[in-house]
Amino acid sequence: MSTTTEKQPAPSGTRVLPPLQIGPHTIETPVELAPMAGVTNRAFRTLCRENGGGLFVAEMVTSRALVEGHPETLRIVTFDEDESPRSAQVYGVDPATVGAAVRILAERELADHVDLNFGCPVPKVTRKGGGAVLPWKRDLFASIVTAAVEAARPFGVPVTVKMRKGIDDDHLTYLEAGLVAQDAGVAAVALHARTAADYYSGTADWSAIARLKETVRHVPVLGNGDIWSAEDAVRMVDETGCDGVVVGRGCQGRPWLFADLQAAFEGRADRVTPGLRHVAETIYRHGELMAGYFEDEGKGMRDLRKHMAWYLKGYAVGGDARRALAMVSTLEELRGHLDALDLDQPYPGADAEGPRGRAGSPKKPHLPYGWLDSRDLDADFEASLREAELSVSGG
């Protein structure tokens, strides 16, 4: 695939951060692809890995679905032969089920690293006490993390935790949860520096990442939220002292961000500035990978459709062409629509960069009645929590 790179002045040549150590795994470029349900499937991870280094986490699976062996769930935790470490993310609300799910992943050698998701802000999940509002119940949080670590330990599989700052600004949980996770034996903690109430709105509060880094002293702290460019990533490291960065929406339609990040973390100033021809080649490659992943060309193309607007952001592509691409059903059609574009366009600069993907506005979190009254779990909440896992689909 052709790559257009633009050399910028005087690279310092100094590594920005040392490699990231996640248990036994050394991640040379201390960058993680954030788990994103519906996005970070094997096809997208391959595309990102073809562009740069890092830790690439699969889409989340629920612990129950894993324990019950749902076929779609088992497909989500499949990896390329050369994917290393193979990172799976598990969401669960019950310590025994999470422990069983992690044991399945570790014992059957399905994954080399397990990340636990405590970041989901979706009302149907928080309403039952799951996702980003779960760490409020501190004993339950500790029990889930401990169950996961203990299930993984005999197999040498490291467990990490990904969380938000808390429920809202008056109910922050991340510092305490970071310490609890560290004591439970996790290999790293990652913070999406928003509360559940923030949802995906506004700007992430990187000062919270700095505070977590000051608090959690014995395991790496990863920062997450609003990294749209390699420069943002370097700035996050400078401002917070974090040991690695987690990149979510910023790589949607820009898998070459991983090349930029690798260059930046190695102290190089070169950045990928793709013309439309390069973007079109990447879309087609993504399409091929999707067809392979789903073992069904039509399904693969349907899943690819949502990526089109992200890929084309900033390029002069008319409405009809965009609509045709967003309705593509076969690889042949995809090739035809891409070839029909005015491919000789250069990189449009800032118009192709910046925020993309899910945003929205702050929302008062829906919580189980009485959830905030106590930091301990009672029997009513336990029943409601079981339902929280049934309604989750991403975070």
Ligand X SMILES: Cc1cc2nc3c(=O)[nH]c(=O)nc-3n(C[C@H](O)[C@H](O)[C@H](O)COP(=O)(O)O)c2cc1C
State the residues that interact with ligand X by CB under 6 A.
34-39, 60, 89, 117, 119, 162, 192, 224-227, 247-250, 357-358, 394-395
Residue 345 beta carbon to ligand X: minimum distance, rounded to whole angstroms? 27
**Closer residue to ligand X, CB minimum distance, 136 or 297:** 136
- The residues, ordered by sequence, that sit 6+ positions from 155 with a Cβ below 8 Å of its Cβ are 106, 107, 109
Over the chain, what HEC string results?
CCCCEECCCCCCCCCCCCCEEECCEEECCCEEECCCCCCCCHHHHHHHHCCCCCEEEEEEEEHHHHHHCCHHHHHHCCCCCCCCCCEEEEECCCHHHHHHHHHHHHHCCCCCEEEEEECCCCHHHHCCCCHHHHHHCHHHHHHHHHHHHHHHHHHCCCEEEEEEEEEECCEECHHHHHHHHHHHCCCEEEEEEEECCCCCCCCCCHHHHHHHHHHCCCCCEEEECCCCCHHHHHHHHHHHCCCEEEECHHHCCCCCHHHHHHHHHCCCCCEECCCHHHHHHHHHHHHHHHHHHHCCHHHHHHHHHCCHHHHHCCCCCCHHHHHHHCCCCCHHHHHHHHHCCCCCCCCCHHHHCCCCCCCCCCCCCCCCCCHHHCCCCCHHHHHHHHHHHHCCCCC
Residue 35 CB, nearest approach to ligand X (Å): 4
| Residue 251: CB minimum distance to ligand X, A | 8
Name which of 226 and 260 has its Cβ closer to ligand X.
226
Query: Which of residues 257 and 328 has its CB atom nearest to ligand X in the complex?
Result: 257
Name which of 39 and 157 has its Cβ closer to ligand X. Answer: 39
Find the residue with minimal CB distance to ligand X.
248
Q: Which is nearer to ligand X, 190 or 377 (CB)?
A: 190
The candidate with the shortest Cα–Cα distance to 236, out of 214, 256, 207, 274, is 207
**Shorter beta-carbon distance to ligand X: residue 134 or 280:** 134
Nearest approach, Cβ of 130 to ligand X (angstroms)? 12
- Of 48, 120, 242, 251, the active-site residue reads 120
Q: How far is the CB of 310 from ligand X (least distance, A)?
A: 11
Residue nearer to ligand X on the CB measure, 34 or 308: 34
* 120 is an active site residue: yes
Minimum CB–partner distance for residue 228 and ligand X (Å): 8
Compute how many other C-beta atoms are within 10 angstroms of the C-beta atom of residue 319: 7
**In whole angstroms, how close is the CB of 388 to ligand X at the nearest point?**
14
Q: How far is CA 83 from the centre of its chain?
A: 16
What residues act catalytically?
120
